[in-house]
Amino acid sequence: MGGVRQTETEGGKADNQGQPQARTVTISIMGKRAQVPEDATIMRAIEHTGQQIIRGAGCREGFCGACGTIYRMPGDYRIHTGLACTTMVKEGMALAQVPYVPMEKAVYDLEALTPDVDTIKRLYPSIFRCVACGTCTKACPQGLQVMDYVQAAKRGDIADLMELSFDCVACGLCALRCPAEIVQHKVGILGKRLYGRYLRKESKELDARLQEVKDRKFDSEYAELMSLGREALSERYYARDSE
């Protein structure tokens, strides 16, 4: 078993000692130059230097949006954006992590809302300032059509807003780059909740099952299963049919 056990650390391979070091690139982490492995993500590169990330690391797999990062490349005037956990370092990269994105979330009672443009207007009026420049779309590390979902929100097309913002990780990079200063990702969350609450198709099967549970229909089956000894239970388990 020892041969297949994977003993690598996140930062490098523990069983790689004595072998040639990985090739490195030079990057600048908040103005400080550092040599880091060329195959590292930004997150692993920062940690390779010995920094303990407090703000700026979360799930480390691209779901949570904690590690939004901005960077520039040599000879390139543009500001680039990415998630530190999934963006690779490149020679000459100059970067800073964004520790927090200040914004105001609308506070609301979902039960009192309607899934339409009136709700959007009331809760996030700022989105009507959108000038359709597309900066948000360019900034999105998930590659979403952010500007398009803002347009959908402006039309009150909640289904489109949901669909286009479904994969949003709420890193807030769009909101930081937006010249109209709107909070795209929060509008996306509102859109999804409105869709799930008001525009879903109802499941009759679920209604029926909930009624059965309420009527305590399964009480006797539970009582019987819970009374079985280990062996009898095992027998029942391995004999059960499968769909």
Report the site for another protein in 19-78 (rule: CB under 8 A).
Answer: 39-41, 44, 47-55, 57-64, 66
Q: Which residues, in sequence order, are CB contacts of 120 under 8 Å at separation 6+?
A: 127, 153, 154, 156, 187, 190
What angle separates helix 146-155 from helix 158-165, to the nearest 10 degrees? 160
Whole-number Cα distances in Å, 24 to 8, 46, 87, 172: 19, 13, 16, 31
Which lies closer to another protein via its Cβ, residue 54 or residue 75?
Answer: 54
Question: CA-CA distance, 96 to 30, in Å (whole number)?
Answer: 5
Binding mask 172-211 for another protein (x = CB under 8 A): -----------------xx-xxxxxx--xxxxxxx-xxx-
The CB-of-45 to another protein minimum distance in angstroms stands at 11
Any bridge partners for residue 186, and if so which? none
User: Please, are residues 139 and 81 in contact by the beta-carbon 8 Å criterion?
Assistant: yes
User: Residues in contact with another protein, total (CB under 8 A)?
Assistant: 85
Residue 134 interacts with another protein (CB under 8 A): yes or no: no
Binding of another protein by 112 (CB under 8 A): no
Angle at 35 between CA 29 and CA 40, to 5 degrees: 80
Cα 85 to Cα 69: distance, rounded to the nearest angstrom: 10
Binding to another protein, residues 86-105 (CB under 8 A): 86, 88, 105
CB of 151 vs another protein, minimal distance in Å: 20
Q: Judged by CB, which is closer to another protein: 16, or 26?
A: 16
Shortest distance in whole angstroms from residue 147 CB to another protein: 19
- The nearest distance, CB 149 to another protein, in angstroms, is 15
- The only residue of 79, 103, 131, 233 in contact with another protein, by rule CB under 8 A: 233
Q: Does 109 bind another protein (CB under 8 A)?
A: yes
